[in-house]
Amino acid sequence: MSAAPNPRTSKVKVVIVAPSLRYVGGQSAQADLLLRLWQHDPDIEISFLAVDPPLPRALAWAERIPGLRTILREPIYFWQLWRSLKDVDVAHIFSASYWSFLLAPAPAWLFAKIKTKTRGSKTLINYHSGEARDHLERFRSAAFVLSRADKIVVPSGYLVDVFREFGLPAVVVPNLVDPSQFRYRERAPLRPRLVCTRGFSKYYSVDVVVKAFAEVKKEYSDAQLDLVGGGRLEGDVRKLVADMNLTGVNFTGVASRQQIGKYYDEADIFINASWLDNMPLSVIEAFASGTPVVTTSPECMPYLVEHERTGLLSTVGDEKALAANVIRLLRDPALAARLAQNAHEESRKYTWKAAREQWVSTYRGLL
């Protein structure tokens, strides 16, 4: 067995195993940000392994067929795991839930464990899914793998509490925002210009956002709503807007990290209606931009948004209560300004300056 590095003096070699930016999502955005921030760091030597490697040119046609492309990718992914994990100290494995967990994080954990016998590599599972409780109840394999990882890191106190229910210790290192992407500004005057930067997923209830906007529109006929994102349910939301004869709704499509900041900057209120979540980056981005936050309150949300201090919370699924909070801000700009200022201060917890030492300590602690 080769000698382990001195954890206090040597650079720690870390490979991030995560989705690539080929498919925009919270995990891929966080992995990409970490990769950029670790470049030229004196303590960490970083590399990246995509769980969704591109198919060879001869099989490129299969990229359009979800199930088939997954089957064809797995042997490529396994081969790249075997090669990439041979010379690292820590495998930092991003994780979602359900079958995704079995297809990507679980094999990475297994290959890293095999490599442990020759190098002493450690496994860190960075779990991000708000579906953790249901996942652990339905998939016994998840608890088996997680209990044998060297470290479980989650982005929220909410997930720490959920994992504790299953006897799994986890620590928090928060999600990150890149302050250079977002410009804080005060909203004066406060306009009825709303933005929602959630994908068209069943979890994010963009239809409820649209229904709440319709209520706002009754009070403010010039109101605008930008829906920034994509997803399978976009057609349903477009049909809802058409059926309601609702004007002022703009479907912008998916925004890149270079573009996303401008949508917050152009808006005066951020609105969200999710019923299942974890530590939504969109809310933290709104904090950083000074866009007052109005959101429903799934179980995780009070861990991030404090009602009447950093945002306004309402019951999940209640579009009238969601709309009432938007209208409340429009009628009380001083309240909106106070929430935005408090939230901007809160956003400092999610910057690299705050998180870097937490990651360095976590990596070195494993060694």
pLDDT digits (tens, 9 = 90+) for 67-77: 898 999 999 99
Average pLDDT over residues 184-204: 96
Let me know whether 249 and 309 are in one domain.
yes
Same domain? For 289 and 357 the reply is: no
Query: 342-346 contacts: CB < 8 A, separation 24 or more?
Result: 342/309, 342/310, 343/286, 343/287, 343/290, 343/292, 343/293, 343/310, 343/311, 344/184, 344/287, 344/288, 344/290, 346/287, 346/310
Rounded to 5, what percent of the chain is helix, strand, coil?
Answer: 50, 15, 35
Is 251 part of a structural domain of the chain? yes
Sign (positive or negative) of CA dihedral 63, 64, 66, 72:
negative
| 2 domain residue, yes or no | no
The per-type count for the chain, helices as H runs and strands as E runs, is 14, 12
Percent of the chain with pLDDT over 70: 96
pLDDT band at 118 (very low <50, low <70, confident <90, very high): low
Specify the higher pLDDT residue, 174 or 257: 174
Distance CA 218, CA 80 (A): 56
Segment 330-344 mean pLDDT: 98
Which ranges of the chain does DSSP label H, i.e. alpha helix? 26-38, 66-84, 98-103, 105-116, 132-138, 140-148, 157-165, 206-219, 234-243, 260-266, 281-289, 319-331, 333-347, 352-366
Query: At residue 257, does pLDDT exceed 50?
Result: yes
Q: Based on the domain organization, do 307 and 358 belong to the same domain?
A: no
Indicate if 74 and 192 belong to the same structural domain: no
pLDDT greater than 50 at residue 2: no
Question: Would you state the pLDDT for residue 8?
Answer: 55
Q: What is the rounded average pLDDT of the residues 192-218?
A: 97
Q: Does 38 map to a domain?
A: yes
- pLDDT of 326 > 70? The answer is yes
Q: Decide if 47 is inside a domain.
A: yes
Please tell me what DSSP assigns to residue 56.
P
Contact predicate 277/324, CB 8 Å: no
Which candidate, 159, 186, 183, 184, places its Cα nearest to that of 171? Answer: 159
Do 105 and 237 fall within a single domain? no
Average pLDDT over residues 267-289: 96
Question: Do both 251 and 329 map to the same domain?
Answer: yes
> What's 63's domain CATH number?
3.40.50.2000
Residue 50 in this model has a pLDDT that exceeds 70: yes
Beta carbons of 118 and 1 less than 8 angstroms apart: yes
What is the DSSP pairing of strand 269-272 with strand 12-18?
unpaired
Which is more confidently placed, 119 or 286?
286
Question: Does residue 160 share a domain with residue 47?
Answer: yes
Q: Which pair of structure tokens corresponds to residue 230? A: 């994509």
Q: Are 219 and 309 part of one and the same domain?
A: yes
For residue 96, the enclosing domain spans 12-176+351-366
Better pLDDT: 23 or 47: 47
Span 342-354, mean pLDDT?
95
CA 174, distance to chain mean position in Å, is 10
Residue 23 DSSP one-character state:
S
Q: State the average pLDDT over residues 233-246.
A: 98
Task: Give kind and range of the element (H or E) at residue 47.
Answer: strand 44-50
User: b or e along 101-120 (b: 16 or more beta carbons within 10 Å of the residue's beta carbon)?
Assistant: bebbbbbbbebbbebbeebe
Cβ distance 304 to 279 under 8 Å? yes
Say yes or no: 168 and 279 in one domain. no
Q: What are the tokens at 357?
A: 């030492």
Q: How confident is the model at residue 86 (pLDDT cuts 50, 70, 90)?
A: confident
User: 66 pLDDT band (50/70/90 cuts)?
Assistant: confident
Q: Would residue 233 count as lying in a domain?
A: yes
Whether residue 224 sits in one domain with residue 139: no
316 and 271 assigned to the same domain? yes
Query: Does 262 reside within a domain?
Result: yes
Ranges 84-93, 300-309, 355-364: which has the least confidence: 84-93
The encoded tokens of residue 154 equal: 């989650």
| Structural domain count of the chain | 2
Same domain, 325 and 183: yes
Structure confidence at residue 1 (pLDDT): 46
* Residue 29 included in any domain: yes
Domain assignment present for 1: no
